[in-house]
Structure 1
Amino acid sequence: MPTKPAANPRERRGSTGLSVFGLICVASMAALLPIAAKAGPMRVVSLNLCTDQLALALLPRERIAALSFLAADPGLSALSGQVGDIRLVQGMAEEVLPLAPDLVLAGTFTTRPTIALLRARGVPVLEVGLVQDFDGIRAQIRQVAVALDVPARGEAMIAEMDATLEAAKAPAGRADRLRALSLAPGAFTAGSGTLSDAVMRAAGLVNYAADKGLVGYGYLPVETVAADPPDLLIANADEGGHPSLNGQMLVHPALDRTVPPDARPRVSGKLWTCGGPFTADAVAKLAQARDGLLSARGK
């Protein structure tokens, strides 16, 4: 009875070698997959002024598919000069979906219908809230940096911010209860529990509005300010230069008489409208005004 020829040992070894080689290739490819997965989102869209600035600060521009139209407004965005030719959107879903984003950054109050539709279509969305202090800024930078897979860049930004804050501290022996007031058109101001309050405290100043009992945001009558003037007055007028009746309140004659020009530091509102590493620059500017005022008083 015919018998099946014995298998060639060389063929067996060759077959085994090919199988092992195949397994090595598969294993190598599998090992590379986590690396690719860790590349982070490559088509990021931001729909909020605050997340616009975080995206610009954290990402190379080739990974940003679009920003909100507010990102390019020099009166609102501290990083408007970095926008360049990045696409700008109004926040409508029909603008965003064709961009095929792999992550959308938004604020908790950003166009809610758009966010709902994007999520319904399976688009990943990261919402971030408003921050009220520098701990909040640090936490938010870390949150967004991790989502963008650039944690090291986030930590570097925090370190730079903290160095600026450290340099802005009042020198030992020069502490004083200098009161600072930030006024926007219409005498709108910020009391305790706000980012503006945190900026003033970081500069070693007392927030005038908080000292008057204001919590959150609100208004202070010009008469109150004129009768008990602050040491420093930050009048945040419209940087676009557009005149308004509300804006005229910032140059009220009563304020002109009680707060001299050298006690009116220029600190752009865009540095502390959103919390970011640039917010430390507002602290540095106030610290400079603080030192100038103390020197003038011989302290």
Structure 2
Amino acid sequence: AIHSDSYQYQMTYLKTEDKLKGDFKKFIVNNLSKLYSIESDNSMMEFEINNTNDKNAIVCYSSKKSDIDQDYQTLIDSGLQPRYNTSIPKLLQNIYNYYNLEKNDGYSLLIYIDQFKTHIVLIQKNQLLESRYFHIGLNYFINRLSKLGSGTLPTEEVRSTVFHFLENYGISKTKNKFELQDGFPYDDARLMLNELSSIMMNQMKDSINNFSTIQPVIGKNDFAFGGVYIGGPGSHIKNMDRLIRDTIGDPVENLNSITTTSFKKRLDSKMNFRTRVKENYILYNKKRSKNNLKNVQNKIQ
């Protein structure tokens, strides 16, 4: 699958009556054209009907069809065969279902911290219910922290230092008196990062609380998400998972760890299969050699 921010995919969630489902595509095209001035000839659109939610029509659309087609053809000409392209919420739903992350009938929350945005996706029973995003991503931290090292626009050298800080030190309440390379001040960076991450968590809470599906229950003391998962470039900021856990109040799992573990298991399974085949082949040859030796001995006698 491929995705690019330049495709400007949007998600919308609509309530539709049963009588409209048969001719729903025409209904959607007409409404998108009126609401967003989208030209159907230069737009990409997919939709599905979700029976688990009041807003039962999930629509993903982009007005950048020509750009998508051009990138798709470039990949094919390069020898790659992309399967499909879609929005981040749909990709997260596909990952969720592929790795069978459903733990119970409760709501699952997937948080993807991209370069410029953070996407929040709500899923229940493998169905995409709602999604939201806000304009804080990895670059939000990099651009501001870079000013501590340069005071001007970020250079590659300064950005590299910031990456090092975010990945290896990240969000921390602990003071430390040493400086990173090139005079990058650790304690000033730590304080700034704590302030920036606090702003991010406030926007994240607002986004989650505005999900219409869970508004009636999210404030209750016994409410808990069935699973919370984070991914994307910004999830590599050290202790970001702990901060989200403390903000939401539920355990957080990293999608990168899940996908890596799953890949390793499949790889080990293939290796084990090959090992078993090899061992069986050796045993077969050993048994055949014994039989051949016995036949020779019988002939000699």
State the TM-score bracket (shorter-chain normalisation). Answer: under 0.3
Structure 1-normalised TM-score?
0.21
- Structure showing greater Rg: 1
TM-score normalised by structure 2 residue count: 0.21
